[in-house]
Chain A
Amino acid sequence: MCNDPDVAPEIPDNQLLVSRRDAMIASVAVVAASHFAASARAQTGPRQAALPVSVDQALIIRTSINGQTLEIRIDARTSLLDLLRERLALTGAKKGCDHGQCGACTVHIDGRRVASCLTLAGKVDGREVLTIEGLAGGDTLHPMQQAFIDHDALQCGYCTPGQIMAAVACVAEGNATSRERIREYMSGNICRCGAYVGIVAAIEDAAAKMGRG
C-alpha cells in the first residue's frame, strides 16, 4: 500500500482567501454576514442545555438519569441517545448506526438494556435511566468495567460503553452461564475492532464476581 500516498498535495499558496493576517477581520465579517446573526449568541454550557428552538411538538418529561431527577423540555422527535449526548453532555453512550443495529448506544431503562437510539426520549418519562457514566460507584469501577480492562476487551473503545451496559444486563438476566450463551446474548453489540474473545472472557470473569455466573 506504500505506492500511492493519498496525502496532502502541494499547496499553491498564492490564492489564499484568508491569511493569518486578515483572519481576525474575516472572523468578524462572516458573523455580520450571517443572516442569522441573532443565533450567534453564545449558549450556556452543554449540561442540560435549553431547547434552542421552539417546536410545535415540545414535551416536558420527568425522568431519573443516573440517579438524578431531571425535568426537561424536549423536541418530541428526539431520541434518548440524542437527548443524553447533545443536551445532557452524557456522551458515554455512542452513536454507531442510529438504527438499532450496532448496540453502541446501549443504556438501561428500569434495569433493562435498550438501544437508546431507537427509544424516543419521551418514553423515559417517569422511568430510570442508567448510562455508563452512572455505572461505577465514584472512583471504584464496576466489576464489569474492571474485567474489560483485565481482559483487554476493547481496542478503540467506541463500542465499549454499550458492550459494558449490555454485559451487565446479560449477567443480570442470567444469560452469562456459559461462553456459548454469552456469545449469543452479546451478539447485538458489534465490536468492529473484533475484541470478542476478550469480551466473553471479561463477562465470564465479572459474572463470577457479581455472583450471577
Chain B
Amino acid sequence: MTTTPFKDRPRIDAFDKVRGATAYAADIPVPGMLYAMLVPSVVAKGRIATLQVEDAINVPGVVRILTPDDFPPPPEPVRFPNADAPPTLHRDIAFRGQPIALVVAETLEAATEGAERVAATFETQPFAATKRSALAVREEARPTAFGDAGAALAQATMTVDVEYESPAQHHNPIELISTTAVWADGRLTIYEGTQFASGIKEVVARILRIDPGIVDVKSPSVGGAFGQKGWVQQQTAIIARAAMLLGRPVKLVTPRGQIFHLAKFRPNSTHHIKLGADAAGKMTGVHYVADQQQSRRGTFPPDYHAGPTRLYGIRNYYGGGLDYRIDTQPPGHMRAPHEHPACFAFECAVDELAYSLGADPVDFRIANDTRVDPQNGRPLSSRHLNECLSRGAQRFGWSKRTPKPGSMRAADGSLVGWGVASGIYPALVTATVATLRISADGTTRFTTTHHEFGQGIKTAIGAVLLDGLEIDAAKLDIVLGDTTAAPQQITAGSWGTFSVVPTAALAVERMRAAISELLAGRQVSGAIHQQLAAIRRPFLTVEVSLLGPGQDAAALERLRRGQYAVAGPTFPDFTAMSYIAHFVEVQVESTTRRIRMPRVVSVADCGRVVSPRTAVSQVRGGVVWAFGAALREVTEVDPRFGGFLNNDLADYVVPVNADIGEIDVDFIGEPDPVANSVGVKGLGEVAMVGASAAIVNAIFHATGKRLRELPVRIEHLL
C-alpha cells in the first residue's frame, strides 16, 4: 500500500455548484410537466370516511385528483422497509400527516389551491402520541452482553448511575424532498434526490406492480441527505402512479411542513447508564439500557451499543434496548443514528466518572485504551484514538485548563468551560461495481455504485483517478446514483467513500495494465487520451467489482438486485472502527447565561485521507451538527393531536452562521493496514459522534451543572 498523502484539491463539483449550474432533482427540466401537491391527514389514527374532491377539481388548472381508489392494493404480505403505511395512498391512517390524496395541476399555484380544497372526514381511533401515553406498547430488544457487568459494577470502587435524554430531531437538509416521474416509451424514469436509487426502483415497482426492469431512478446531486433520503419516501410511488395515469411528467416538491410528518426522524431516546471503575482508574463494567420512541411497525432498532462497547477496553458490558411503540411515522437513521445519542450519554457519563475519581478527563480516556474489540476479542484493524486525544489536547492547549468547574473566565467575565469527548463509528463496507472508460477524444467517464450528497465522494473518487492516471481533469465525468449506469446501493453509514475509493483504485490499476498491454512496449508520449489516439483506439473500458473483507459472490448478487450488501464492522479477521476526539470551549455569559462555542479542535482517525479539503469540511459539518443537537434542535410532539408542532425552520432551530466559531480539524492520517487497499476508513458519521458530549462536558466545566437532557437551554443554567 502506498502511504503518500493525497494532495489538496478543490471539490470536484464546486465549480458548477457556485454557479448554480448543478441540477438537483427538482431542477431537471422536463417538457410538459404537471405539478403535484399532497393532501395530508389531520388525524393521527383512523380511517378516511369521506373524501370530497369536487371543489378541488373545479380550481382552474387542476387536472386530476388521485385518491386511494387510484392505487392497486399493496401486494401481500405487506412488508415494506420501516413503513407504517405502505408508500401509497390508502384509507387507513397510521400517523398524522399521512397523505390521503394528491392534486395534480398545470401549475404549482393551482395544485396548491386544489390541495387546500380537498375535504375529508375521518373515523378516528384513540392513539398514543408519546412514549408515556397509555396506549404506548413497550417492547424489549435482544441485549448486547459480554463479561459480567453485574459483578464488575458490584466490585467497582467508583460508579456513576445516570440517565440522559436525547430528543426527537429531524434531518432538515435544505433540499426539500422532491420527486419527478416521467412515463414515456414504456419506461418509468424517476428523478429524486436520494441515497437509495436502487431501493426506489425495487419498491416503487413492487407497489405499483410493474416490472422493476422498466423503472430507472436517477439521483443527481443531492442537496443534503443525512439519512433522511436513505429511504423510499412516502411520496415516490404516488407521483410515479400519477405520471403513469396521466401520461405526462409529474413533479412534487414537498413542503417542509409536510416533510416533518412524512420523513423519518431521530427518535427521542433515554439512556440509563451505570459505569464503574476500579481503584487504578480502569473502567471495568457498564450496565446501559436505552429506550426510544418507536412507531407501531417501525424497524429502526433500539440498539445503541455498537459504539460504547468498543470505545474503551471495558470487559464487562450489559446493553439493553427498549421500544415504546406509538402512533407516529417510523423513526429512522439520522446522522450517526445510534452513535451520536449513545456517545453523548456515554461520554458524559465517562466525564462524570473521571471527575468522581479526580482524574483528568483526557488522561482518564487515554488510560482506558484497548487493542482488541472487547465484544469478541478480535484485533482492531487500526486504532489511533489515543493519538487523537493527545494531539487534540496539544492543539487545544488543554494543559492550561484548571479542572475546577467555574474556575476559568473570559476577558468579558463570561464563564469559560473546556470539555473533551471521544467518538467512534463502525467501518462498514458494501460491494461495488464500477466502469471506467477513457476516450481518445479527451473524455473520461467513471460510473459506479453510491450517491453524492455533499460528503465529497466524487472528489475522493476523482483524487484516486487523477492521482493514478494521466487524464484530462476537466473532462472527467463521475456518474453516481443512477440505476442505468451501475447497480446502486444505499449510501449511508459512512460506507460510500470507504467502499468506492478502493474500487476506483482497482479500476486505475486495471486501466494502467490494459494501457501498457495495448501499447506493447511502444513509447507514446502524452496523456492516455493521446496514447489512445496514437494507436487508433477510440476508447478503452475496464469494468471492476469489489467486495468487502469476508464478502462473497452473494453480496455482489444482492447488489445487482438492489438489495442490502453491507458488511462490518466485524470482519472475519478483525473489527474496523473510525475514531475522533473533540475539544470544545464554551463561554457562558454571566448574566444572560447565553452559551457560545468560540472554538473547537477535532482530530480524527479515519485512516488515510483521500480528499483533505472535503474531509475537513465533513468534520466541521459534523461538529456543527453536534452543536445543533446539543444546544438547539428538538422536534416537539403534539400530545393532543399527534404529529409535530414546530414543523418549520423558524421553530425547529438549526445552527446558523453566528452560532459557530472556529473549528480546527486535524487527521492522524495513518492508513488502515488491512481494511482495504487504499487504507481508508469512514468519516462523515464519526465526525459528529462525541462532539455533543464535549459541549455538555464543557458546560459542566464552565458552570458546575451536569445537564443530562438535550437540547441544553439558557433556562437550564439560570
Contact = CB atoms under 8 A, between A and B. Distances in A.
Interface of A: 1-13, 15-20, 23-24, 26-27, 30-31, 33-37, 39-46, 51-56, 75, 77-78, 82, 85-86, 89, 91-99, 101-102, 104, 131-133, 135-136, 141, 145-146, 148-150, 152, 154-161, 164, 182-184, 186-200
Contacts of A31: 246-247
A34 B211 contact: no
Contact of B210 (A12, A16, A78, A97): A16
A33 B245 contact: yes
Contact of A18 (B32, B209, B253, B563): B209
B530 interface: no
B303 A3 contact: yes
Contacts of B332: 6
B145 interface: no
B186 A2 contact: no
A97 B649 contact: yes
Contact of A2 (B34, B72, B426, B456): B426
A98 B526 CA distance: 51
Contact of A183 (B16, B63, B569, B658): B658
Contact of A157 (B17, B29, B563, B613): B17
Interface in B21-73: 21-24, 26-27, 29-35, 60-61, 63-64, 72
Contacts of B16: 157
A91 B300 contact: no
Nearest to B30: A46
A59 B246 CA distance: 29
A17 B212 CA distance: 11
Given A20-B214, A31-B247, A98-B255, A43 B31 contact: yes
B246 A30 contact: yes
Contacts of B63: 36, 39
A78 B656 CA distance: 29
B20 A132 contact: yes
Contacts of B199: 7-8
Given A33-B245, A55-B60, A1 B81 contact: no
A12 B202 CA distance: 11
A91 B221 CA distance: 14
Given A12-B75, A75-B109, A157 B648 contact: no
A195 B617 contact: yes
Given A8-B198, A157-B22, A196-B660, A42 B32 contact: yes
Interface string B11-22: 101111111111
A91 B211 contact: no
Contact of B19 (A37, A95, A133, A152): A133
Interface stretch (B167-175, B368-376, B389-397, B469-477): B167-175
A30 B568 CA distance: 46
Interface string B524-567: 00000000000000000000000000000000000001111010
Interface in B102-139: 105-110, 113
B246 A36 contact: yes
A10 B205 CA distance: 11
B399 interface: no
Contact of B81 (A8, A93, A132): A8
Nearest to B453: A156
Nearest to A34: B246
B658 A17 contact: no
Given A46-B29, A158-B223, A141 B60 contact: no
Contact of B17 (A53, A104, A154): A154
Given A8-B202, A19-B210, A31-B247, A156 B173 contact: yes
Interface of B: 10-11, 13-24, 26-27, 29-35, 60-61, 63-64, 72, 75, 79-82, 105-110, 113, 172-176, 183-187, 196, 198-199, 201-203, 205-206, 208-214, 221-226, 230-232, 244-248, 253, 255-256, 299-301, 303, 306, 332-333, 337-339, 426, 428, 453-456, 490, 492-493, 561-564, 566, 568-569, 613-614, 616-618, 620-625, 648-650, 654-660, 662-663
- Rank and list the top 10 A-B pairs by shortest CB-CB distance, nearest first: A92-B20, A194-B624, A156-B454, A158-B223, A157-B17, A31-B247, A23-B186, A155-B454, A8-B202, A132-B20
A75 B61 CA distance: 11
Given A1-B493, A101-B650, A158-B174, A23 B622 contact: no
A9 B456 contact: no
Q: Is the interface of A mostly helix, strand, loop or mixed?
A: loop
A7 B246 CA distance: 29
A5 B490 contact: yes
Given A1-B333, A91-B27, A98 B256 contact: yes
A30 B231 contact: no
A5 B29 CA distance: 33
A82 to B, nearest CB: 6
Contact of B64 (A35, A41, A85, A194): A35
B643 to A, nearest CB: 18
B202 A18 contact: no
A30 B245 contact: yes
A136 B93 CA distance: 50
A101 B224 CA distance: 17
A200 B26 contact: no
B246 A40 contact: yes
Given A40-B248, A86-B108, A149-B15, A2 B569 contact: yes
27 contacts: A3-B301, A3-B303, A8-B202, A8-B562, A9-B79, A18-B214, A23-B214, A27-B184, A30-B246, A34-B247, A46-B33, A82-B109, A94-B175, A95-B176, A96-B174, A154-B617, A155-B455, A156-B174, A157-B13, A158-B24, A158-B174, A184-B658, A190-B654, A192-B172, A192-B654, A193-B454, A194-B620
B255 A195 contact: no
Contacts of B456: 155
A198 B654 contact: no
Contacts of B208: 17-18
Nearest to B625: A194
A94 B223 contact: yes
A101 B654 CA distance: 11
Nearest to B210: A18
B176 A96 contact: yes
Contacts of A93: 20
B18 A149 contact: yes
A205 B211 CA distance: 54
A15 B31 contact: no
A144 B230 CA distance: 33
Contacts of A82: 108-109
Nearest to B299: A4
Contacts of A36: 63-64, 246
B210 A160 contact: no
A156 B524 CA distance: 40
Contacts of A89: 29
Contact of B564 (A5, A75, A135): A5
Contacts of A145: 18-19
